[in-house]
Structure 1
């Protein structure tokens, strides 16, 4: 066991991701892209800064990830006409469809984790 809480939390995250990573990869997504899809699935649109906070992705990294996701037709980035400093992000229909397909697989992975860690 480690004395470092941060290392222990990272190890726990990696242990959990062994259940989810194959699912995410089967949908041609990275871990970060899945976090974005999953987070946006609960909201019609979200402010860029809020999305960065909720997905634990640094804003400079999020910009590049969203560029690729927009190119792939999964998200749209929208700027309100009354405030060009703001940026909102939303899933496209294709992104929503991808989430719907992956959701049942992810829920099954959660059930497997619970079963594996329940005495």
Structure 2
């Protein structure tokens, strides 16, 4: 069995560029979808990540780790989402200096509604382009990359 070699710099850069350009193309199409007229895609991303919290609450700094926005931008976004009645904010239970965020019932319902539409549109856009096995390979590769980056 042949030993696999590490890729050269060019191969790494080209693969990253391909992954990045593909994500940009998908995101541009997604931004045009009707569900993201109800709520901006970045705001939806906050609701989606909150929906994944096991205890229902997330510290602001922990939530920020899952998002591609700055802490001050997230704070302002949470202010807007709170004014819309989609999230609740409280002082952290075990650290009075921290802030925790949770979905309201209205926020949870909106996230589920947009999420269902989002998944349908994503499927109709991408499913014709790859086979089931290819999606499995893609998932395996991106999970491997993500896991490796999280361990650093």
Normalised-by-shorter TM-score class: 0.7 to 0.9
The 1:24–1:55 alpha-carbon spacing in structure 2 relative to 1, beyond 3 Å, is: farther
Deviations 1:3-25 (A, max 9, x none): 67776554322211134222442
Structure 2: gaps (5+ residues) = 1-12, 132-152
Where do 1:1-119 residues align within 5 Å?
8-21=18-31, 22-27=33-38, 29-43=39-53, 44-80=56-92, 83-118=95-130
Within 2, Cα distance between the matches of 1:67 and 1:79? 14
Within 1, Cα distance between the matches of 2:112 and 2:92? 28
- Please list every run of at least 4 consecutive aligned residues from structure 1 whose deviation after the TM superposition is greater than 3 angstroms: 3-10
- Alignment root-mean-square deviation, CA: 2.1
Within 2, Cα distance between the matches of 1:103 and 1:25? 10
Deviation, structure 1 residue 112: 1.9
Structure 1: gaps (5+ residues) = none
Within 2, Cα distance between the matches of 1:87 and 1:94? 21
Task: Tell which has more relative contact order, 1 or 2 (C-alpha 8 A, sep 6+).
Answer: 1
TM-score, reference length from structure 1? 0.82
Deviation, structure 1 residue 110: 2.5
